[in-house]
Amino acid sequence: MATDLSPVWLSLETAVTATIITLLLGTATAVWRANRRGIGPAFLDGIFLLPLVLPPTVVGFILLVIFGRNGPLGRLLLHFGATVVFSWPATVIAAAVVSFPLMYLSVRAALEQLDHTLLQAARTLGASEWRVFRRVALPLAWPGMLAGTILAFARALGEFGATLMLAGSIPGKTETIPIAIYISVEAGEIHKAIVWSLIDVAISLAMVAGMYYWTHLQNPARARMVRR
């Protein structure tokens, strides 16, 4: 029986880091996109959503080309003495890129559903754009954004194809649970694969339950009703 639990920690670290990155990037992109019309932003939308429609191996291959020794970003990083390919950051990059569209779409939908008169009211009351976002838009869009965060986290946790292409399967370094399952099955260690799979199911269930509970407590309107 396997005693090395490194894939569990690697998976969690990767998914959490990737989710934080997509939450920040996805929100920033959605906010930037919110008040823009035209062909340019629409074209960028296509690029942003590409990881959702492309097979993960293709995404991984593209990332490999970009971050490889001869790729534009790879060469730049090499200049500073860093390599991304087959390192832990590569698992994060793969997971972040693949989960980004889910986050971006959710945040955008949440922002578009906001009552714009509320944002305008905040402006007439003297609020800066940052304050409008932080005090009005963010709290009201948060339930929708949280749904996006859950989706993105789940997608990052389950990421396999792009990760394998960009990060490989180095035990203790880039071997996440999905990759460990694949390696186990390939090596004929079915019981090991079953254990990893059960751990994955447990993590996912705990996460969904935790998020559900948290949403109902954190929703400020509900929370206040409970307190009174």
Structure tokens at 40: 């340019």
Measured distance CA(20)–CA(215) in Å, rounded: 17
**Pick 92 or 136: Cβ nearer another protein:** 136
**Pick 95 or 119: Cβ nearer another protein:** 119
Of 50-58, 81-89, 116-124, 159-167, the segment contacting another protein by CB under 8 A is: 116-124
Of 62-70, 75-83, 112-120, 166-174, the segment contacting another protein by CB under 8 A is: 112-120
Among 3, 5, 130, 224, binds another protein (CB under 8 A): 224
Among 37, 117, 130, 188, binds another protein (CB under 8 A): 117
Measured distance CA(15)–CA(179) in Å, rounded: 14
- Could you say whether residue 139 binds another protein (CB under 8 A)? yes
Among 31, 44, 66, 123, binds another protein (CB under 8 A): 123
Please count the other Cβ atoms lying within 10 Å of the Cβ belonging to residue 33. 19
**Pick 5 or 225: Cβ nearer another protein:** 225
Among 120, 194, 201, 206, binds another protein (CB under 8 A): 120
- Could you say whether residue 217 binds another protein (CB under 8 A)? no
- Could you say whether residue 128 binds another protein (CB under 8 A)? yes
Cβ atoms 185, 191 nearer than 8 A? no
Measured distance CA(116)–CA(103) in Å, rounded: 22
Rounded to whole angstroms, what are the CA distances from 59 to 50, 88, 144? 9, 17, 27
Q: Residue 128 Cβ, how far from another protein at the closest point, in Å? A: 6
Q: Residue 126 Cβ, how far from another protein at the closest point, in Å? A: 5
Q: Residue 44 Cβ, how far from another protein at the closest point, in Å? A: 26
Binding site for another protein (CB under 8 A): 115, 117-118, 120-128, 135-136, 139-140, 220-221, 224-225, 228
